[in-house]
Structure 1
Amino acid sequence: MSESFDAVIRNGTVVDGSGSEAYTADIAISGGVIHSIGKVEGTGRTEVDATGKIVTPGFIDVHTHYDGHVTWGDTLRPSTHHGVTTVVIGNCGLGFAPCKPSQRDMLVTLMEGIEDIPRDVMTAGLPWKWETFPEFMDFLSSRSFDADVAVLVPHAAIRVYVMGERATSDGIATPEDLEQMTALVAEAVRAGAIGVATSRHYLDCGSDGKQAPHVKANREELLALARGLKLANGGIFQVIPRMVDFLAQEEIGKLGQEQFVKEELDLFREISEVSGRPLTYSLMDSSWVPGLYAHALRETQRVNDEHGTRIKPQVFPRPIGMLIGLDLSVHPFKFHPSYMQIKDLPLAERVAIMRDPEFRKKLLSEEPDNEVAGPLGMVHVHLSQQGFQLGNPPRYTLEPERSMRFEAERRGVSNFEVALDWLLEMDGRNLYAAPGGNVGSPTLDDCGVMLKDPNAIVGLGDGGAHSGFVSDASFPTTLLGYWARDRKGEGKISLPLAVNLLSYRNAEAFGMADRGLLAPGMRADLNIIDFARLDTCLPETIWDLPANERRVTQHAQGYVATMLRGEFTSLSDQSTGATPGGLVRYKNAA
């Protein structure tokens, strides 16, 4: 009698996540795990013909900010539009636990200022049914999602929980404070936290304009967090480093890139040695310090080789920056006096007014109101004047002829005039990109160098954050479509490596031993992909957050199916509505 299975995927091209070459096989699934791979003689209650399609593990996005979404909703989009079956939240030291009732507004202010999640959304959406981190984990364990969720315990929440108002004032943690922070990290990991997260990025400020409390942390405080991982014997240390900070350029100029990077990596080495755990830090080719990433890659390799540490730069496969649009948080006319008079009108009415020749002339003659914009607003205005047309479907390379500057010079007009024309296309729904990182090469060669580094993992999609001007959670589709399929020449990345970067490499780094690989006994989290048809769709604005607030989302085409825990969550690029996902608790802690 032939064996029966929950599902059998037939004749797919298996790219198993290990980095090994693809092969053709059937995959049998039972009880939410992979039963066997090869020639499956039995039958499945569901049979899927994957002939001509690639079958991959579900993708693991280790850098998201769905910290609020997991408390009020069950869909983690747009990440799950792009083959993601596991997300990690709590990144950059931001989150909502632990938190005393009197401190809730402090954490909301930080998330609003740093991650562009409107206060109204959090006020309406967060249920606050927890105080301690274990209570937060217990709350999440009662919920279900269309992806699994792992949680980093956020440094900002720990600091505020321990120090209260002192966390944002004097900035110095006492020995007693440090002892409590160590205990809280250990408690969190023992409750299932995947690690601890912090940031050294000086531009991280709350919506009140004050620098984020965890950015003030000194070496002793960071080592106190590391000791918490050591006590619990588990987790990873995630950090946003100074080397991606715009405000660090003066310091880098004084020290030189090589010495600056060495000092940063020395700190990371010490953290990793004290914790005995892996450490991951974000890395990009910064436009304000070009080439620094190459020093970081070399120094990371040296430190790992000489000290046995597991330090992993977290890199990104395309430019990092903002989307610019009339319905988004950022565009170059946002703080022009004429525009501010019409900013609250419906989009169609604004577009009609902005197309009027007299209004257009007046708008283009004005300067932004610096006082209203504030320092960060003026940075955004500046960046929004240096854009690239995305196109539809979007393309993330940076050929000069697609730039605002090129178009302005070709037409003999200002960048502002080009920006206005771009914004009014598609009845005001057009978007363009204003990248600030990974912009060193029109064909993204620097990204390719980072992706191919043996220590690198892929992250920084920021799903759930910057809801008014970022849609980078679509990066898995870019990594596969551009780098593994469309890219030509030496810079091309093999399909097995691309899938490895999206799955097993991240699972291994974050201690998720049950996923990221297509093999018997592993979780039945997988994608069936029409590789030839795979592409991103143009980002769009939707209004589905609590308090009827806006966010940017982005669909994809070519995902024939996505399966989570043996259940299909997506078919033919459309959600099935299934939510078999839940909380992932770290399992190797003492």
Structure 2
Amino acid sequence: MYDIIIRNGRIVDGTGAPARSGAVAISGERIVGIGDVDGPARREIDAGGQIVAPGFVDVHTHYDAQVFWDPLVTPSINHGVTTVIGGNCGFTIAPLSGRPEDADYLVRMLARVEGMPLESLRAAVPMDWTGFGEYLDRLDGTLAINTGFMVGHSALRRTVMGERAIGHHASADEIAAMQELLRASIRAGGLGFSSTISTTHLDAEGQPVPSRHAAEEELIALASVVSEFPGTTLEFLPIPGLFGEQTYDLLTRLSLAAQRPLNWNAIIPNAHAPEIHRSQIAASDYAAARGARVVGLVMADAPHLRLNMLGGVLIDSVEGIAEYFRLPLDDRCRAFADPEVRRRIGERAAGQAGHARKYAQWQDYEIVEVFSEENRRWLGRMIGEVAAERGVSPLDAILDVALADELRTNFLLRSIADDDASWAMRGEVWTDDRVVIGASDAGAHLDMIDTFAFSSKVLGEGVRRRKLLSLEEAVHRLTQVPAELIGIRDRGCLREGAFADIVIFDPDRIGCGPTSMRFDLPAGGNRLYCDPIGVSHVLVNGREVARDGVPNGELAGTMLRSGRD
């Protein structure tokens, strides 16, 4: 007798093959029959003509901390994601040195660079381990979906170098110590190595995060450790914007040193500046010609950013204003109210070039969430309109509005890549074998982006509404392709012997509900959230974990470990 049979579904198995009618039989954790299945089961699920597909795989998340207060790993589970990979960008909370100041540094860094409420981190994440294996053991068996974590460069650097991790190159002995700590972490189950040199990544003091102080020699030495272990991977964030020879060469040398595919984040197709994503994707061709493999992660939609002057993420990349985000809140408010400070910020920001220039276009921000009665009249208005109505500069307007809310005001910076031409480019990139759909950042930038719903957006907007690719191709790109990139065994497709990670959804309804703010984090922290539409069942390792977009509390997930999984 089977444990579960799913009947009356259209099977889209993740390989890209055409949909077919049939049933899926499950015993224990695995699929034991697919297609024509006879025999009784303890439970039958009637798919009612809906799509039966592999659970979606998200290779770029930052759930490293959230899993301590949210064992259901929401909202990814709601949207049919059954496997997530964390530890990206070098930002992990293991290993730790055992020195309280190092743990405190990493928590404050996460709060700043990944937009997690500091009060929530301090209230819910114990930070009382040292080894990477202790961290994984603490979570093993406690989560609703499958999770795996890479080992982060900034944690390695801070553990070995302490305060020297900022502002100093590592000595030969320190590099060797980091290599040995990385080896120990991978032996304990870490999935590989991650790092960043992105100019957008700053710590709580506004300084470049530890990995940005590393010489290329250090990066290559750490990447080489990955080559010593089976079942490992490599993730890296280069400097954003146009790619050139220097970036191509670094990505290629890292992949060659690791003898693994390198994935990097993130490609944002934009018809108004197509040269950017084309230069980025070309890194894959450069690498392939030299025996390496480099894969870019592409976003599932045009990201609309919610930004504020409290955390300052991304706004702090603008010249002239970044230094003020290092100040305590009261001092920062006084500075932002000072006409002379505003004059200096305005002069420097006016000359901003490159990737950060769009964040200095103050007139383009829309006011989408306010907290004071004074600001309610401006809700839904553009800063440019507010400035014109009040007869002040856009910089004065945005700072005045922010100060009235003690800097908590949320401003929306709409993407210019939300037009039909950009969506057509996005569809082309989604089906390019040099890229993988991902870049969700789920678990990070909690008050800024809703890209955690990437699977529902691809299937709803990309397939159902815009018809940019077939349903079978989309499922393939959301399941088998990312699973194979990371090297995850027996997941990402529906076949006999594979783990029963399954999502059932209605292709005629799939999509996202409205995005709104929830105040459901520890210590009263808030996050953006949206529910799925049309996701009826989610199974992980043969057990149902969510129905009709709502988790049921079942903790069926596996902790994925290098070599074994």
TM-score (norm 2): 0.82
Q: Which residue of 1 aligns with 2:439?
A: 460
Matches within 5 A, 1:120-519: 120-141=119-140, 143-170=141-168, 172-244=169-241, 257=242, 260-285=243-268, 290-304=274-288, 306-323=289-306, 370=342, 382=360, 385-386=363-364, 433-435=412-414, 438=417, 443-488=422-467, 492-519=468-495
Asked if the contact 1:283–1:293 (Cα under 8 Å) also holds between the matched residues in 2, the reply is: no
Asked if the contact 1:234–1:277 (Cα under 8 Å) also holds between the matched residues in 2, the reply is: no
SS in 2 for 1:224: helix
Q: Aligned pair in 2 of structure 1 residues 479, 407: CA closer, same or farther (>3 Å)? A: farther
User: 1:330 & 1:510 partners in 2: Cα distance?
Assistant: 29
User: 2:50 & 2:393 partners in 1: Cα distance?
Assistant: 44
User: 1:325 & 1:531 partners in 2: Cα distance?
Assistant: 36
Q: Aligned pair in 2 of structure 1 residues 327, 176: CA closer, same or farther (>3 Å)? A: closer
Q: Which residue of 1 aligns with 2:113?
A: 114
Tell me by how many angstroms 1:110 deviates: 1.1
Alignment-mate amino acid for residue 455 of structure 1: R
Alignment-mate amino acid for residue 285 of structure 2: Q
User: 1:5 & 1:155 partners in 2: Cα distance?
Assistant: 45
- Give unmatched runs, 5+ long, in structure 1: 245-256, 336-342, 345-365, 391-401, 424-429
Asked if the contact 1:327–1:541 (Cα under 8 Å) also holds between the matched residues in 2, the reply is: no
- Superimposed CA distance per residue, residues 16-35 of structure 1 (whole angstroms, 9 cap, x where no aligned partner): 11111111110001101111
Alignment-mate amino acid for residue 423 of structure 2: L
Q: Which residue of 2 aligns with 1:79?
A: 76
Tell me by how many angstroms 1:539 deviates: 1.3
Q: Aligned pair in 2 of structure 1 residues 266, 329: CA closer, same or farther (>3 Å)? A: closer
SS in 2 for 1:291: helix
Tell me by how many angstroms 1:442 deviates: 5.2
User: 1:294 & 1:218 partners in 2: Cα distance?
Assistant: 28
- Superimposed CA distance per residue, residues 236-272 of structure 1 (whole angstroms, 9 cap, x where no aligned partner): 110111134xxxxxxxxxxxx5xx4232121111111
Q: Aligned pair in 2 of structure 1 residues 35, 370: CA closer, same or farther (>3 Å)? A: farther
- Superimposed CA distance per residue, residues 164-184 of structure 1 (whole angstroms, 9 cap, x where no aligned partner): 1110132x0111111122222
User: 1:310 & 1:277 partners in 2: Cα distance?
Assistant: 7
Tell me by how many angstroms 1:320 deviates: 2.5
Tell me by how many angstroms 1:383 deviates: 5.8
Alignment-mate amino acid for residue 148 of structure 1: N
User: 1:177 & 1:559 partners in 2: Cα distance?
Assistant: 49
Asked if the contact 1:285–1:439 (Cα under 8 Å) also holds between the matched residues in 2, the reply is: no
Q: Aligned pair in 2 of structure 1 residues 188, 205: CA closer, same or farther (>3 Å)? A: same
Q: Aligned pair in 2 of structure 1 residues 157, 299: CA closer, same or farther (>3 Å)? A: closer
Q: Aligned pair in 2 of structure 1 residues 372, 505: CA closer, same or farther (>3 Å)? A: farther
Q: Aligned pair in 2 of structure 1 residues 243, 331: CA closer, same or farther (>3 Å)? A: closer
SS in 1 for 2:175: helix
SS in 2 for 1:583: coil
Q: Which residue of 2 aligns with 1:48?
A: 45
User: 2:113 & 2:497 partners in 1: Cα distance?
Assistant: 40
1:562 alignment partner, one of 538, 551, 556: 538
Q: Which residue of 1 aligns with 2:324?
A: none
User: 1:163 & 1:16 partners in 2: Cα distance?
Assistant: 48
Alignment-mate amino acid for residue 485 of structure 2: A
1:578 equivalenced with 2:535 (yes/no): no
Q: Percent identity?
A: 29
- Superimposed CA distance per residue, residues 305-354 of structure 1 (whole angstroms, 9 cap, x where no aligned partner): x233222111112112413699998999xx9xxxxxxx99xxxxxxxxxx
Q: Which residue of 1 aligns with 2:18?
A: 21
Tell me by how many angstroms 1:510 deviates: 0.5
SS in 2 for 1:270: helix
User: 1:88 & 1:446 partners in 2: Cα distance?
Assistant: 27
Question: How many pairs are equivalent?
Answer: 519
TM-score (norm 1): 0.79
Q: Which residue of 2 aligns with 1:397?
A: none
SS in 2 for 1:208: coil
User: 1:116 & 1:36 partners in 2: Cα distance?
Assistant: 44
- Give unmatched runs, 5+ long, in structure 2: 316-320, 322-328, 331-337, 369-379, 403-408
Q: Aligned pair in 2 of structure 1 residues 323, 63: CA closer, same or farther (>3 Å)? A: same
Q: Aligned pair in 2 of structure 1 residues 532, 97: CA closer, same or farther (>3 Å)? A: same
Further displaced range: 208-217 or 503-512: 208-217
Alignment-mate amino acid for residue 94 of structure 2: A
Tell me by how many angstroms 1:71 deviates: 2.5
